[in-house]
Amino acid sequence: MTEEKLVIDTYRGFRLDDFQKEAICELEKGKSVLVSAPTGVGKTLIADYLIEQAILKEERIIYTAPIKALSNQKYKDFKKLYGKAQVGIVTGDIVINAEAPVCLMTTEILRNILHQDRQRLAGITHIIFDEIHYLSDEDRGTVWEESLIFMPDSIRILGLSATIPNVTELAGWIAEIKSHPVSVVTKKERVVPLKHFLFEKHLSETDLKAVLRYQKKLANDSEQKEVLVKRDIETTHADFIKFIQQKKSLPCLYFVFSRRMCETKAEELSHYRSFLTTAEVNQVEAICERFSIEYGIFNMKTFFQAKACLIKGIGYHHAGLLPGLKEIVETLFAMGLIKVMYATETFAVGINYPVKTVCFDSPAKYDGITFRPLNNLEYFQMAGRAGRRGIDDVGMVYILANLYNLRVEEFPSQNAEDIEELKSQFNLSYNSVLNLKRNHHHEEIEQILNQNFATYQAREDKRRFEAQLKKKNQEFDDLSSHICDHRHDPNCPIVYRKIRQKIKKKQRRLRFIKGRAREAVLKEISLMKQSLEAIQVRSCSEKNQKTCTEQILSLDNLNKRLSKLEERAGRIITSGRFSDDLKLKQEILEELDYLKEGELLPRGEFAAQIYIQELLITELYFNGIFHNLDVDQLNALIVGVDYEPRKGEFYPRKLPFEI
């Protein structure tokens, strides 16, 4: 490595922070690097440097992102920087120049390539995993683990992550399975600090304690309680937007955890507010016209609905928008022509559109199954969009506090130290089993199943428990060596007193015992008294007895902790955690004629290339269902296969064709 690369201070006109310089130097040494830092501090500049160096050296590099919106944005950015010929993109929607030196793709696409066509990675020197903390995502985390497990060991990794407390553990796992060093680079401080508040329309900018006091006051005021109705105590998005407009705190990114409500709230606000000048409206009109013609959406109802909001400086963004409409919204937002953006959480992932203010419509989100509180990692990931570097001194973050359905337990911590550790979400899908059987023999499969992050974390947990056990056992031995040797002897005054207390207890119980049982207890008491009479009690001061009692109690407590640690350590499975799951799924696949004696049958070969609802799709195909449908019916069926209904949705009553 040259001295010039070691002392790089600036890049693209930016003076590099220490963590950026450290990450670049570690990459230049040929190491993999994990960068853990808050949103908005410049993690992507490290990736930009790596990509530029790859192009100069005529190497190939892959940039993976968790969502298509981020892949699309990076594609546009890199195309401007390096030219069309140097950049490609592969997502579920589009494939452009897939063999380019720099190829952007979702992590799912990378995982599919690793299973189906590893030769396509020939010449790849680095893979950039943006938002690598998605490894902890309950639904999609397995994709990140499989990608890391199956990628060639020769490829180096640049992992960009939000602040996570156990990034060193993640690096240790990657280093173990890839057999090369992985450096960790961290930065905890934000460039633009955040201020966290709740917003309640009567209290304005406030905190949870003040909201609870106000709620209690309303509940205790009987006269007030009688006249209060929902509209009097409910705080709405309109109340909040009015407040921050008066504070001159626009632009605002307003998170709503419902696609439909993003659109509904934007339309509601557009009925009585406009945030643009005449010149800005003309700009919006021109951009809408250009993109709507380019994407062929100029006569679509969804385009006109969105445009009616956009010309007033109000936008909405979610995964269900048409690609052309997303392009319009993202372009206008980047130009500062959207002052209020209603968005789902996907807009917080990696897309570099900072704002002055971030607001959460609710501290809870619907995760496809139920409503649950935001975890702290999710909260800080989204809140991190607040505060524009070089423009704002502070980023403002609010959560709407709605007295009508306030639940204290739903509010996330506003302390970044409380962000949760990454936990493995690895699981075996039928597709994974089929691809393992197709590409690996039995011994390799066993080895691969022990390479996941869950198994690594289990081993680390066991090591920690064993280290604690060793330490506690040493404490136990040290404490035992200092306790009186006579602590178990009857002539110890403490033991002697306990025997006497035991006799008295038995005597008190005698009045409830009759018959032969009474005779047995009486005999037992008599023998105990006789033994006491023969005991010569040791002379021991009250102070020594007190010290000895405390030591014995400490020893007993320590012994209980040792037992619990031994029990917990014994329950941890550090090998073969997924063997039973593999065996069960393999048996089911054999019964369904996907596998026979470890070899894939036609159904298995087909299902191995399907990554969502693989068994259902395969059965539909092999039963000829798809063959009898026209294009519209086929599209409707495919959409229905993996559609996730939202809370309160009902089956449609009218369909354009029979099913």
Q: Are residues 522 and 632 in the same domain?
A: no
Respond yes or no on whether the N-terminal peptide bond of residue 165 is cis (omega within 30° of 0).
no
pLDDT at 1: 40
Domain coverage including residue 411: 194-418
Q: Are residues 181 and 198 in the same domain?
A: no
Question: Stretch 163-176: mean pLDDT, rounded?
Answer: 92
- pLDDT above 70 (res 131): yes
Round to whole Å and give the CA distance between 463 and 246. 56
Percent of the chain with pLDDT over 70: 93
Residue 313 lies inside a defined structural domain of this protein: yes
Residue 596 lies inside a defined structural domain of this protein: yes
pTM above 0.85, yes or no: no
Q: Are residues 180 and 210 in the same domain?
A: no
Number of domains in the chain: 4
Q: Is 241 helix (H, G, I), strand (E, B) or coil?
A: helix
CATH of the domain at 256: 3.40.50.300
- pLDDT above 50 (res 4): no
Q: Are residues 257 and 224 in the same domain?
A: yes
The model's confidence at residue 224, banded by pLDDT at 50, 70 and 90, is low
CA 191 to chain centre: 23
Residue 335 lies inside a defined structural domain of this protein: yes
Q: Is 400 helix (H, G, I), strand (E, B) or coil?
A: strand
* Chain length of the chain: 659
pLDDT at 232: 67
Beta bridge mates, 342: 254, 316
What are the tens digits of pLDDT across the range 234-271? 889 999 999 999 999 999 999 998 888 999 999 999 99
pLDDT at 244: 94
Q: How far is CA 174 from CA 33, 49, 146, 168, in A?
A: 10, 23, 12, 10
Residue 478 lies inside a defined structural domain of this protein: no
Q: With residue 399 as reference, give the H or E element that holds it.
A: strand 395-400
Cβ proximity of 339 and 313 under 8 Å:
yes
Round to whole Å and give the CA distance between 278 and 284. 10
Residue 453 lies inside a defined structural domain of this protein: no
Residue 474 lies inside a defined structural domain of this protein: no
Q: Which residue shows structure tokens 């419902």?
A: 258
Q: Are residues 232 and 180 in the same domain?
A: no
Q: Which of 507, 537, 567 is the last residue of a domain?
A: 537
Q: Are residues 164 and 266 in the same domain?
A: no
User: Can you read off the two tokens belonging to residue 327?
Assistant: 């392009």
Quick one: DSSP state of residue 421?
A: P
Q: Which of 502, 537, 572 is the last residue of a domain?
A: 537
Cβ proximity of 104 and 65 under 8 Å:
yes
Percent of the chain with pLDDT over 90: 36
pLDDT at 369: 67
Q: Is 28 helix (H, G, I), strand (E, B) or coil?
A: helix
Q: Which of 397, 418, 439 is the last residue of a domain?
A: 418
Q: Are residues 275 and 325 in the same domain?
A: yes
pLDDT at 3: 41
Least confident piece of the model among 10-19, 249-258, 335-344, 490-499: 490-499
Residue 273 lies inside a defined structural domain of this protein: yes
Q: With residue 556 as reference, give the H or E element that holds it.
A: helix 542-571
Q: Are residues 584 and 532 in the same domain?
A: no
Q: Are residues 163 and 245 in the same domain?
A: no
- pLDDT above 80 (res 159): yes
Amino acid making up residue 636: A
What are the tens digits of pLDDT across the range 10-66? 887 788 889 999 999 999 999 999 999 988 788 888 999 999 999 999 899 999 988
Q: Are residues 180 and 204 in the same domain?
A: no
Cβ proximity of 331 and 229 under 8 Å:
no
Q: Are residues 379 and 308 in the same domain?
A: yes
What are the tens digits of pLDDT across the range 285-321? 999 999 999 889 888 999 999 999 999 999 999 888 8
What are the tens digits of pLDDT across the range 577-623? 788 899 999 999 999 999 998 899 999 999 999 888 899 999 999 99
Q: Are residues 79 and 96 in the same domain?
A: yes
Residue 480 lies inside a defined structural domain of this protein: no
Cβ proximity of 360 and 197 under 8 Å:
no
pLDDT at 659: 47
Most confident of 297-311, 556-570, 635-649: 297-311
